[in-house]
Chains A and B, each alone.
Chain A
Amino acid sequence: MRKLFGIVAFASGLFAQIPVTDPLVVAKCSGCHSKDEKGNLSRISWVRSAPEGWQQAIKRMVRLHGVSLKPEEARKVVQYLSDQHGLAPEEAKPGIYYFEKRHLDQEKYPEVVRDACVSCHPYGQAMNWRRDAKEWDLLVNMHIGFFPVVEWNSFRGMQRGPAGPPVPGADTRTPVEKAIEQMKTDFPLETKEWAAWTASRRQAKLAGRWLLSASQPGKGRFTGEVTIEPGASPNEWVTRSTMTSIESGQTITREGKSALYTGYSWRGRSGANTNAVREVMMVSRDQSMIEGRWFWGAYDEFGYDVKLVRTEDRPVILATSVTALRAGKTTTFQILGDQFPTGLTVGDLDLGAGITIKRLGRQTQSTLIEVEVEVAEKAPLGPRDLAVKRTVAAGAIAVYDTVDYIKTASDTAIARLGGGSTAFNKGYMQFEAIGFNRGLDGKPNTPDDINLGPVKAEWSLEEFFAVYGDDDVQYVGTIDKSGYFTPSIEGPNPKRKFSRNNYGDVWAVATYKGEDAAKPKDGSPITAKCYLVVTVPQYMRWDQPEVAQ
């Protein structure tokens, strides 16, 4: 019997709990989370999460349960728990967008969590935890205990009428029961990813020079570098970065600090005043690349997608100043990178069939090549690799003949009213239009279509007719030609019927203004639109800025 119990227990993860060995964590938490003979603290030893997850739970311990922690103690507790009760990189990756503060057009989640969980917060809140089965059940209790209304607005199904007689064999579980079963299956405490990570992780050695490439919606791409130096402790780093806009040539310099959790989770801050950013990035397993988002704004709505690669003793291509080349044309552009050899000749560069490298500019820096290319009228359409000697940037440039249609970078967008009082800032939105070519099959909107990168467009707002006589477009705010939307102020608007707020739903419409705009195929301009919801402020901000140094 005992043996049988052992097998069952192992299969259900009963032995996967993580003892707490840090004296500070034991001192601060074991008053309520009792310690067993193996050193496990109740609850805490049966859950794992990302630094933000721990920070949020600990803040609740302070807010509701009277735990007292000085900021530097809280930092140490979060560091320890994220390191020892953290997520493996493979576990963190699918949910990292939540901490990078990305607006996803459509969050991915299993249908069963829609009513029960995603009705209140993004799935990102739930999917960044790993727990044993009992802990998932206790989480449900926590929700019911603190927010009793959850029972009837989410957990037992929303707005259901009186139940009829049960259909024999039907699934009679409530939405929350189904959702929690899914969580238990998808996000258990014990996983092979975590076992592998804890077995093989090593101290991160990030000091050195890193090359930066980045892009910001509406502002184009940037290149530069980041110097990383060791900070006060093995998990702290000091940074100095420069980045130059390919479009404007303007350079921004930032100094910063970062914490590193679980051996790969970079949480930093850099820059000052209007250039201040928060950095959420993941270090690759081989520590040769760091990728993520640097963001700012009241709703973290502004940001760069950033990629850092460690400098090695070899050339690197970071970016090209154009992302598409037009067939039948001669174009001059720049290749930006690092350690390009001197004395390059046209024969050292290659962009594939139909593209002739005509001329190289005089090479004055090892980080820049200026090149003139001629693309044949009948050059095959599609993405091309760019080779500089043996260094290759795959799919760096696309060859196209016409811009056949454009798309907005996402299908939906959200902006928040604000600026009417001191507490709530506006939540802005920068739109971007992407050009497409119909591709080899000659048909637009098929998988072989060629993404040509951002194109020139002029933006405007149009009413979205949610109800007949809809007039939101007069109230929600303004958009400039470049696609920068500024929402109106929050608060009741006495000029609107029932003093409605300035909220509303509208279309943000891009009209293509690039080279092919003058000769549209069917006589009408090339346009694309994005559904924009301009809504009330968020009165709560679930944000854990403390995890960044």
Chain B
Amino acid sequence: MRHLRAINKKARRIDDLQTATDGDVVAMQQNANAAQRPHYPMGCSIVFSPGWEVDSSGGTAGLCQPVERDLYDCYISCYWPAQVPDHLNNYPEWTSKCAAATKDWRNIDLVFP
């Protein structure tokens, strides 16, 4: 593909997009020598499976879709106890207002431990 030159505007745009895509996707996978490699913002949990604020690549592409689907699980297993209230000890009542978080997400509470 590289040895063909884009001749019209649209083709050029596709070409540019491809270059940008390759640049970013590759930058996620390799390390030091990439020009500007994203890293995790401070404070993000790096317990991945799939991850809370970020996934294991430092982005959001691999998070639960949507996170509300997984919330109940996180809560029950206290998987991210610094990010999601835990059912086990601290907040046994947290999800009582929303049986299905994907539908009732507007009822989810913010907790100040």
- Judge whether A153 and B42 touch: CB under 8 Å: no
- Is residue A105 within 8 Å, beta carbon to beta carbon, of the partner chain? yes
A158 to B51, CA, bound (A): 12
A201 to B112, CA, bound (A): 34
A118 to B40, CA, bound (A): 11
Cβ of A539: which chain B residues have Cβ within 8 Å of it?
Answer: 71, 83-85, 108-111
- Judge whether B111 and A158 touch: CB under 8 Å: no
Report A176 CB to chain B, min CB distance, Å.
14
- Judge whether B113 and A542 touch: CB under 8 Å: yes
A509 to B57, CA, bound (A): 21
- Judge whether A533 and B60 touch: CB under 8 Å: yes
A488 to B25, CA, bound (A): 25
A104 to B42, CA, bound (A): 6
> Which residues in chain B, 18-51, are within 8 Å of chain A measured between CB atoms?
20-25, 28, 36, 38-49
Report A475 CB to chain B, min CB distance, Å.
11
**Chain B residue nearest in CB terms to A115:** B46
**Chain A residue nearest in CB terms to B79:** A149
Contacts A153-B49, A154-B47, A420-B106 given; does A540 touch B40 at CB 8 Å: no
Report B85 CB to chain A, min CB distance, Å.
6
A375 to B48, CA, bound (A): 56
Contacts A411-B39, A423-B109, A468-B25 given; does A158 touch B48 at CB 8 Å: yes
Choose among A64, A148, A464, A534 the residue that contacts B38 (Cβ–Cβ < 8 A). A464
- Judge whether B78 and A531 touch: CB under 8 Å: no
Cβ of A472: which chain B residues have Cβ within 8 Å of it?
Answer: 60
Choose among B52, B54, B59, B82 the residue that contacts A542 (Cβ–Cβ < 8 A). B82
Contacts A63-B90, A64-B90, A103-B42 given; does A492 touch B102 at CB 8 Å: yes
A505 to B39, CA, bound (A): 11
- Is residue A10 within 8 Å, beta carbon to beta carbon, of the partner chain? no
- Judge whether B42 and A492 touch: CB under 8 Å: no
Cβ of A131: which chain B residues have Cβ within 8 Å of it?
Answer: none
**Chain A residue nearest in CB terms to B94:** A539
- Judge whether B61 and A541 touch: CB under 8 Å: no
Report B74 CB to chain A, min CB distance, Å.
9
- Judge whether A414 and B53 touch: CB under 8 Å: yes
User: 1/0 per position for A117-128, CB-CB distance to B under 8 A?
Assistant: 011111001000
Cβ of A5: which chain B residues have Cβ within 8 Å of it?
Answer: none
Choose among A56, A118, A424, A531 the residue that contacts B113 (Cβ–Cβ < 8 A). A56
User: 1/0 per position for A410-436, CB-CB distance to B under 8 A?
Assistant: 011110000011111000000000000
User: 1/0 per position for A515-549, CB-CB distance to B under 8 A?
Assistant: 00000000000000101011111111111000000
A306 to B36, CA, bound (A): 31
Cβ of A121: which chain B residues have Cβ within 8 Å of it?
Answer: 43, 45, 82
Cβ of B59: which chain A residues have Cβ within 8 Å of it?
Answer: 464, 466, 505, 533
- Is residue A467 within 8 Å, beta carbon to beta carbon, of the partner chain? yes
Choose among B44, B68, B90 the residue that contacts A491 (Cβ–Cβ < 8 A). B68
Question: Of A186-194, A234-242, A452-460, A494-502, which stretch is located at the interface?
Answer: A494-502
**By the criterion of a CB under 8 Å from any partner CB, how many residues of chain A are at the interface?**
70
- Judge whether B47 and A158 touch: CB under 8 Å: yes
- Judge whether B111 and A533 touch: CB under 8 Å: no
A142 to B33, CA, bound (A): 41
- Is residue A448 within 8 Å, beta carbon to beta carbon, of the partner chain? no
- Is residue A465 within 8 Å, beta carbon to beta carbon, of the partner chain? yes
Q: How many A-B residue pairs have CB under 8 A?
A: 188
**Chain B residue nearest in CB terms to A415:** B41
> Which residues in chain B, 56-108, are within 8 Å of chain A measured between CB atoms?
57-61, 63, 65-69, 71, 77-86, 88-90, 102, 105-108
**Chain B residue nearest in CB terms to A106:** B39
- Judge whether B67 and A120 touch: CB under 8 Å: no
- Judge whether A103 and B41 touch: CB under 8 Å: yes
Cβ of B79: which chain A residues have Cβ within 8 Å of it?
Answer: 149, 153
Report B97 CB to chain A, min CB distance, Å.
10
Most-contacted residue by chain A among B36, B65, B66, B113 (CB, 10 A): B66
Choose among A64, A119, A535, A542 the residue that contacts B89 (Cβ–Cβ < 8 A). A64
- Judge whether B68 and A492 touch: CB under 8 Å: yes
Cβ of A424: which chain B residues have Cβ within 8 Å of it?
Answer: 108, 110
A529 to B20, CA, bound (A): 13
Choose among B39, B49, B67 the residue that contacts A412 (Cβ–Cβ < 8 A). B39
A420 to B111, CA, bound (A): 17
- Is residue A470 within 8 Å, beta carbon to beta carbon, of the partner chain? yes
- Judge whether B24 and A146 touch: CB under 8 Å: no
Contacts A465-B21, A533-B59, A542-B82 given; does A146 touch B89 at CB 8 Å: yes
- Judge whether B106 and A120 touch: CB under 8 Å: no
**Chain B residue nearest in CB terms to A538:** B83
Report B27 CB to chain A, min CB distance, Å.
9
Cβ of B85: which chain A residues have Cβ within 8 Å of it?
Answer: 539-540
Contacts A120-B80, A540-B82, A541-B110 given; does A412 touch B38 at CB 8 Å: yes
Contacts A121-B82, A492-B68, A505-B60 given; does A60 touch B113 at CB 8 Å: yes
- What are some 10 contacts across the A-B interface (CB < 8 A)? A59-B113, A103-B41, A119-B45, A120-B45, A159-B49, A467-B61, A491-B66, A505-B38, A505-B61, A539-B108
Interfacial residues, chain A to chain B (CB-CB below 8 A): 56, 59-60, 63-64, 103-107, 114, 118-122, 125, 146-150, 153-154, 158-159, 411-414, 420-424, 462-468, 470, 472, 490-493, 496-501, 503-505, 529, 531, 533-543
Interfacial residues, chain B to chain A (CB-CB below 8 A): 20-25, 28, 36, 38-49, 52-54, 57-61, 63, 65-69, 71, 77-86, 88-90, 102, 105-113
* Extra 18 A-B pairs, beta carbons < 8 Å, given A412-B41, A492-B66: A103-B41, A120-B80, A148-B78, A411-B38, A412-B39, A465-B24, A466-B57, A496-B65, A497-B65, A498-B66, A501-B67, A533-B38, A535-B44, A536-B53, A536-B67, A539-B84, A540-B83, A541-B110
| 10 closest cross-chain pairs (CB), A and B | A531-B38, A492-B66, A465-B24, A498-B65, A414-B41, A421-B106, A465-B21, A505-B59, A466-B61, A500-B65
